[in-house]
Amino acid sequence: MTGARSLSVARGVAQQGTRKLVKNPVKAVPPMLVPLFFFIAFTGALSAVGGTKGFGYYNYTAFEFVLVLYMGSMFAGIFTAFDIALDYQSGLGNRMMLAAPRRLAIISGYVIVAVGRAALVVAVFWLIAIVTGMPVRGDALEIAGLVALALLLNVATTLYGAGIALRFQTTASGVLILIPAFMVLFLSPVFIPREHLSGWLHTAAGVNPLTPLLEAGRGFLAGDPVSTALAFAAAAGLVIAFSIWAALGMRSAEAGPH
């Protein structure tokens, strides 16, 4: 009975979030804007990098596309976390907790919304890439692997943001969600492959959990899979770690905002 009630709560939260997007579809746009800006900027201003000796990847636009695809998926999770903060700041979140016997079902509902938003972002980005003529060498299974990594990254980012939003219960916490995500993104092999990085940036990229996901995603797109097991293990590890973080955040929310 409690399990059925939890499923009902998760479904209700997901439906509420979906209705908000349907009533105000403009809300689906912000997660796409910054990644698309970077895609245009990177592939325009830095396209000559793809022709340098030793670059190694088959196409610079495709090289940057994987980063932008991940960024868009992460931003869908970040903006969902912003919604969580707003719901708890307005008191709606506390009312939802009163109706949920297992309050982790509330987080599950938000994750469902985030994955739906990420799926839309991924579809739009692929459409843009195809229309603009980006060459794709990977087969259907490899492209599915790339999309799966993007969606796992969305889940991890949503749970990370949820943990912060639930602790602070205010939209002012948005900066604490956004800045670390940007730092992780830009301390990875953004413009050139990791082997061409040097100094502290090479070291940072080597320990960055996003790096194997980027390298595997680029391998999938090129039709030459690399670091596949490591990438999925890293993605699963992030989801598990941030699931615990979000669960502790829900416990904190029960005690009131910090």
Asked if 118 and 149 touch (Cβ cutoff 8 Å), the reply is no
Taking the C-alpha atoms of residue 75 and residue 55, their distance in angstroms, rounded to an integer, is 28
Q: Which two tokens stand for residue 139?
A: 């087969």
Our measurement of the distance from residue 33's CA atom to the centroid of its chain's CA atoms, rounded to an integer in Å, reads: 14
Q: Measure the CA–CA gap between 76 and 112, rounded to whole angstroms.
A: 11
Burial per residue of 210-235, b for 16 or more beta-carbon CB atoms within 10 angstroms, e otherwise: bbbbbbbbbbbbbeebebbeebbebb
Q: What is d(CA 203, CA 207) in angstroms, rounded to the nearest whole number?
A: 7
Domain total for the chain? 1
Structural domain that includes position 72: 2-255
| 18-22, 88-92, 206-210, range with the lowest pLDDT | 18-22
Q: Cα separation of 119 and 114, whole Å?
A: 9
Q: What is the pLDDT of residues 35-86, one digit of tens each?
A: 888 888 877 766 666 666 767 888 889 999 999 999 999 999 999 999 999 9
Q: Which position has the token pair 């969305």?
A: 154
Length of the chain: 258
Residues 6+ apart with CB under 8 A from 16: 109
* Segment 204-253, tens digit of pLDDT: 999 999 999 999 999 999 999 998 999 999 999 999 999 999 999 998 88
CA 4 – CA 154 distance, rounded (Å): 26
- Dihedral angle over CA of 175, 209, 201, 136, nearest 10: -100
More confident residue, 248 or 196: 248
- CA 149 – CA 213 distance, rounded (Å): 7
Q: For the whole model, what pTM was predicted? A: 0.92
Instruction: Give the number of other CB atoms < 10 A from CB of residue 10.
Output: 21
Alpha carbon separation from 220 to 40, 136, 226, 234 (Å, rounded):
22, 9, 8, 16
| pLDDT at site 50 | 62
Please say whether the beta carbons of 147 and 122 come within 8 A.
yes
Number of helices (H) and strands (E) in the chain: give both, helices first: 10, 0
22, burial (CB in 10 Å: exposed 0-12, middle 13-18, buried 19+): exposed
The CA distance from 200 to 61, in Å, is 26
